[in-house]
């Protein structure tokens, strides 16, 4: 583990924050859920939380929200 994923995640926060946003919504592959949760994203509960994958038939992606610091 070299922190590359975390560095990319942190770097993406800057341009998102520059738009005036105070949070970002992440549409995550099921295999990446634990990573995004580790990066302080939280699961969105209720309503339309799962999104069908546009590339993998039958797979559903989970929406998370990450508050920008």
List strand residue ranges (DSSP E) for the chain, in order: 23-28, 42-43, 50-52, 60-67
- Between CA 42 and CA 55, with CA 33 as vertex, the angle to 5 degrees is 120
Residue 44: which H helix or E strand, with range?
none
Of 13, 20, 24, 25, which is closest to residue 50 (Cα–Cα)?
25
Give the model confidence (pLDDT) of 7-62 as tens digits.
988 898 889 999 999 999 999 998 999 999 999 999 988 777 889 999 999 999 99
pTM: 0.78
């Amino acid at each position: 583990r070299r922190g590359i994923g975390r560095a990319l995640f942190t770097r993406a926060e800057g341009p998102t924050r520059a738009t005036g946003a105070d949070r970002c919504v992440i549409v995550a592959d099921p295999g990446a859920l634990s990573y995004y949760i580790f990066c302080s994203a939280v699961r969105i509960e209720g309503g339309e939380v799962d999104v069908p994958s546009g590339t993998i038939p039958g797979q559903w992606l989970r929406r998370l929200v990450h508050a920008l610091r």
